[in-house]
Structure 1
Amino acid sequence: MRKLESRRPRVVIVDDSRTMQAVLEQLLTLRLRYEIVGIASDGRSAVAIIEQTRPDLVTIDLTLPYIDGRQLLEALHIFPEMKKVVVSAAACENLAVKASLEKLGADSCVSKSRMSQDPDGFCHLIGMIMRNSKKLQEKASLLGMPAPAPLRGSSGSGKRIAALPILSYPIPTDEVERRAALQGLGLANDNVDRRLDLLTEHLAKTTSYPACAMTFIDQHTQWIKSSVGVDRGFTPRSEAICNYTICGDDPFIVSDTHADIRFAKLEVVLSGPMIRSYVGLPIIGSSGVRLGALCLLDTKPRRVTVEELTNLRSIARIAAELVEARWEPIRYAA
């Protein structure tokens, strides 16, 4: 009979938030006594760490730079013994999203808010997942079947994660629904609408920011539909800081783009319009889909104030109602 090794489960944490990295590390090490063998802030780094360490458990955030968390999860299917737990935003509370992630190989999906509210429940869930994995190994051993070998070091199975498409921006969890809504509402263009211009003009004046823009992003393009202080038109999606804004419900703030590795080399930072500070809020439709972004821009580093955020929130809500009422959905033949 094969004797199983008694050792602490080894974990890699994949999340671009330092706060969440610290929270997960504390829960997994202090409460569960697991061993953290790697922490990655983006999907590309995660691939390298996972291939080198071959952990027993990987926690994955969905909105990551370079390689989207969903793509990373799908790529890890070649390691069936490795447990994968998605720890992300409110999208994990959506049953359809959870089902699609589990189909890609997630052993469980936990929203960050629920994890914060019930850390004991989160630890209990992780413990159950890892215990069930150990029981399967023990059962295989009792039946005389080859148990999955523990994933240890780079000399493990020798498998390598297939090359993934490298993205310079994260992909929202509601990407399919979001783009369908843009198409139906006719928003993916730079056609002039005076009522939207009135909103951006008002926001720029009441916040003293030199530039303000309302953007909508389709598969490859960011459409600047209304703007003050920057040109209306379009940019490649890879140049859009608003990619990060439409991935969450909260304000996305960059006080100094030169000090942020995600944006320091973007063309919109290094040359026109030379964005140095950015504050964005998603334009959220009545169905909960994040249709676009409303943002404030400056050519110098600055910190946003509470009053400026309040104005931004108010105008973003008005913009959401206006764009849904302004365009009648276009019906396409099946």
Structure 2
Amino acid sequence: MLTRRGAMTGTTRIVRRVVIVDDSRVIQTMLETAFGTRPDFKVVGVASDAKTACDLIGRLRPDVVTIDLCMPYIDGAALLQMTAHVGSTCKVVVSDQVAKSVLMQSRLQSLGASTCFLKRQIIDDPQAFFAKLNATCDQFQAGAKAQSRTASSALALNGPNEPKEVGFPIPRDEAARIKLLHAKELANSLHERPFDLITRHVAEILAFPVCLLTFIDRETQWIKSAYGFQETKMPRGDAFCNYTIVQDSALVVNNAANDNRFAQNRLVVGEPHIRTYVGQPIIVRDGTRIGALCVIDTKIRHIGKPTFSTLANMADVLAEMVDARPLVA
């Protein structure tokens, strides 16, 4: 639970409660010291193994938990699974193992991690570390609140015996992003040849059966360009790209059927039975993640560097195209 402390000026300040999980006493001390310098965080528990951590998290319900990957007997990935039911806690992985592996980061996020940090980031640039951590926590809480509101609305509409499970992450700049989307006239499914050339090129060069260019507004994912896919729009709750537009790099889903975020998605359990998804955010000049370029397959695929580099390069081209579009009143 977030706590608030009154400052001398009479304003309030959010203080996030933290549990640290690491089997190294040196790293525990380093993290405790770093958090101890911050007025916006308070360490309320420390654990050296996953079992103790699981008990602490369940009992204390902290706002944030930092998790090391390498621990005795039960590792950090397993701890994420063990605490999946604790939906009120923002879980972040702090480990140097994730340094160069986009696939590992995506797997950890599929297990419930909100983001991943390198341990050396806390020493090299603590200001940037805490700025990103606060942004991650804000985004996590916004998504949790949106999910709660949606669930409440669904309960009111459907009655207590017909709950509706809906939830997806919400970008921090949601209102500004949607405003820009409409100002650029991208919230529609009207195909444009320059976009279609890009999705066809990406699909063919990467040998994926499907490539999409998508833009998401408040309730709808608009499929602005598609290669190998018939739908032109879908409810936002069905969109894998919800998860792509809240991060800076590619989102990789190797097997959607085994991913907690997507296993019950209608596009996974039914036609076209999506298994592999790789999405790259389209980030325009002002930093807004306005859309996503993604490739999809119904088979489980190994994702290599050519896929990441091609999607990143084409997303940059699309960002330039979006920036060049005039704004409408």
Question: Could you tell me which amino acid in structure 2 is paired with residue 32 of structure 1?
Answer: E
Deviation at 1:234, TM superposition (A): 0.7
| Alignment-derived partner of residue 246 in structure 2 | 247
Who is 1:35 aligned against? 46
Pick closer, same or farther for the CA change 1:272–1:87 going to 2, 3 Å.
closer
Distance 1:59 1:182 in 2: 32
Q: What is the match of residue 258 of structure 2?
A: 259
Checking the alignment, whether the CA contact within 8 Å between 1:275 and 1:298 is kept in structure 2 is yes
> Which residue matches 1:319?
318
Q: Conserved in 2, the CA contact under 8 Å of 1:283 and 1:294?
A: yes
Cα deviation 1:134-172 (Å, max 9, x = unaligned): xxxxxxxxxxxxxxxxxxxxxxxxxxx9x9335521111
Residues 38, 186 of structure 1: alpha-carbon distance in 2 compared, 3 angstrom cutoff: farther
1:42-68 CA distances to partner (integer Å, 9 max, x unpaired)? xxxx9xx87x6246x53279xxxxxxx
Q: Paired residue for 1:164? A: 148
Residue 206 (1) aligns with residue 205 (2) = yes
Secondary structure in 2 aligned to 1:279? strand
CA contact (8 A) 2:22 2:49 kept: no
Given residue 274 of structure 1, which amino acid in structure 2 is its aligned partner? H
Native 8 Å contact 2:250 2:278 kept in 1: yes
Partner of 2:148: helix, strand, or coil? coil
Question: For residues 254 and 179 of structure 1, do their structure 2 counterparts lie closer, same or farther at Cα, with a shift above 3 Å needed?
Answer: same
Contact 2:23–2:48, Cα closer than 8 Å, also in 1: no
Q: Do structure 1's residue 226 and structure 2's residue 225 form an aligned pair?
A: yes
1:240: Cα distance to partner? 0.6
Q: Which residue of 1 aligns with 2:122?
A: 118
Which letter does structure 1 place at the counterpart of 2:64? T
Alignment-derived partner of residue 310 in structure 1 = 309
How far off is 1:118 after superposition? 2.7
State the match for 2:328 in structure 1: 330
Deviation at 1:23, TM superposition (A): 9.8
Deviation at 1:304, TM superposition (A): 1.2
| CA distance 1:249–1:30, change in 2 (3 Å) | closer
- C-alpha spacing 1:38/1:192, structure 2 compared with 1 (3 Å): farther
Report how many aligned residue pairs link the two structures: 229
The 8 Å contact of residues 18 and 65 in structure 2, kept in 1 or not, is answered as: no
Partner Cα separation in structure 1 for residue 225 and residue 269 of structure 2: 22
After TM superposition, the score normalised by the length of structure 1 is: 0.58
**Percent same amino acid among aligned pairs?**
35
Pair member with larger Rg = 1
Q: What is the aligned-residue RMSD (CA, Å)?
A: 4.1
Give me the whole-angstrom Cα distance separating, in 1, the residues matched to 2:242 and 2:251: 10
Structure 1 distance, partners of 2:26, 2:236, is 36
What SS does structure 2 have at the residue aligned with 1:319? helix
Relative contact order (C-alpha < 8 Å, sep 6+): which is higher? 1
Letter of the 2:148 partner, please give it: L
Q: Which runs of 5+ in 2 are unaligned?
A: 1-16, 34-44, 67-86, 94-114, 131-144, 152-165
